[in-house]
Amino acid sequence: MKITPVDIQQQQFRVRFRGFDVREVDSFLERIADEFKNLMAETEDQQKEFQRLGREIQEYRDREKAFKEAMVNAQQAIDGVKANAHREAELVAAEAEMKAEKMLSTAHNRLTQLHEDMSELKRQRMQLEVELGAILEAHRKLLDMSTEAMGDQEISEEKLKYLKGR
């Protein structure tokens, strides 16, 4: 059973022969009641403070939990970004490698084409040299024949002169 300051103030004691001084007892009971009242008020204030601190602690725990979750989420996001960056780097490297292989293949094909073109030009040069040689040979023969014909004509003209002069 809870005792209140009012209970203390209203407490009545039986008076007996040679009992206590009623005024002293009443005065003492008043002081005790006031002290008890102050203690109860202080206890109530402390309970309110305790409850407020309990709520505050719970808020801090909730914040801590949210902070931990945010940290976990941030770490997961960082890990995801790292993984994506790694995959992206691999894709870029693979794409660069493919482009390099394509460029190398194109250069090789171009080199092969140039070699073929050079071979064709050499073949055409040789054919042209043969044709030019044949033309020169034909012209040399014509010149030789022309020179022979001129020599024969000179001989004929000398013979004619000789015959005329006789």
For the chain, what are the domain ranges? Answer: 5-165
Q: What is the DSSP string of the chain?
A: ----HHHHHH------TT---HHHHHHHHHHHHHHHHHHHHHHHHHHHHHHHHHHHHHHHHHHHHHHHHHHHHHHHHHHHHHHHHHHHHHHHHHHHHHHHHHHHHHHHHHHHHHHHHHHHHHHHHHHHHHHHHHHHHHHHHHHHHHHHHHHHHHHHHHHHHHHHH-
Residue 1: per-residue pLDDT = 60
Whole-prediction pTM value? Answer: 0.44
Per-residue pLDDT of the chain (166 residues; tens, 9 = 90+): 677 778 777 877 777 777 777 788 888 888 888 888 899 999 999 999 999 999 999 999 999 999 999 999 999 999 999 999 999 999 999 999 999 999 999 999 999 999 999 999 999 999 999 999 999 999 999 988 888 888 777 777 777 777 777 6
Residue 166: per-residue pLDDT = 62
Structure tokens at 47: 């309970």
